[in-house]
Amino acid sequence: MQRLLLLALFIIGTAQAQVQPTVQEGQFTFDTDKPFTLLELDQNEEPIPTKKKKPKRKVYYGIKTKKAFTRKGFGDKMTVELFYVLKKPDKPTGFARDVYWYDFTRKELRKTSITAFDVKKGVLAHGPYKRMVGENVIEEGIFFKGTKHGRWMRYDRQDLVEDKEKVL
């Protein structure tokens, strides 16, 4: 009899242990006016500014270029032209009267008409241009697909401005 009573108590005890208590929805939550935060340090910090991307060094007006130069003369009278040319050969626009391009055979920067320019013989000048005699800058400006663009400055040997031209 005692064994039967113990067996009955054991069965009832395990049956109640398997039943999970019911939890009402919202029983363990509470309402607040603002979100709960553990630390208030976030409010005092300034936002981190995002860094702007630097433009690539050899990209002008969104077109990739490569650096080129020419030399003429000897000693103090040596004329050096520093300029950039298009990486991929391209034809000039049809509205320009003169086209500036680097001739591979002559190894010089040439100024010709659009009809005289041949893509097989050279590439168009595109980007900053600087002509120097010795250490003095004589002329500087910028090219856009073989045409003069922007401000062009011409100096004498004492670095005084001789001519200032705005080309559109």
pLDDT, one tens digit per residue, over 60-79 is 888 899 999 999 999 989 99
Residue 10 in tokens: 């054991």
Has residue 104 got a pLDDT over 70? yes
How many separate domains does the chain show?
1
**What is this structure's pTM?**
0.66
Q: Is 94 a domain residue?
A: yes
Q: Is 117 a domain residue?
A: yes
Has residue 91 got a pLDDT over 90? no
Q: Is 47 a domain residue?
A: no
8 Å CB contact between 154 and 132 = no
8 Å CB contact between 64 and 85 = no
Q: Classify the C-alpha dihedral 102-104-105-108 as positive or negative.
A: positive
Tell me the HSE value of 50 on the side-chain side, using a 13 A CA sphere.
Answer: 2
Fill in the amino acid letter for 22: T
Q: Which residue has the higher pLDDT, 119 or 34?
A: 119
Q: Is 35 a domain residue?
A: no
| pLDDT at residue 39, as a whole number | 58
Cα radius of gyration rounded to whole Å, the chain = 39
Give percent of the chain above pLDDT 90. Answer: 48
pLDDT tens readout for residues 146-157:
999 999 999 998
124 is in which domain, residue-wise? Answer: 59-167
Has residue 42 got a pLDDT over 60? no
Q: Is 48 a domain residue?
A: no
Q: Which residue has the tokens 């077109």?
A: 63
Q: Is 127 a domain residue?
A: yes
Residues in CB range of 74: below 8 A, 6 or more apart: none
Strand ranges inside the chain, DSSP E? 59-60, 63-72, 79-86, 99-103, 108-112, 122-133, 136-144, 147-155, 161-167
| pLDDT at residue 64, as a whole number | 92
Q: Is 107 a domain residue?
A: yes
How sure is the predictor about 92, in pLDDT bands with cuts at 50, 70 and 90?
confident
Residues in CB range of 61: below 8 A, 6 or more apart: 126, 144
Q: Is 5 a domain residue?
A: no
Closest CA to 82 of 98, 66, 96: 66
Fill in the amino acid letter for 162: E
Closest CA to 85 of 60, 112, 67: 67
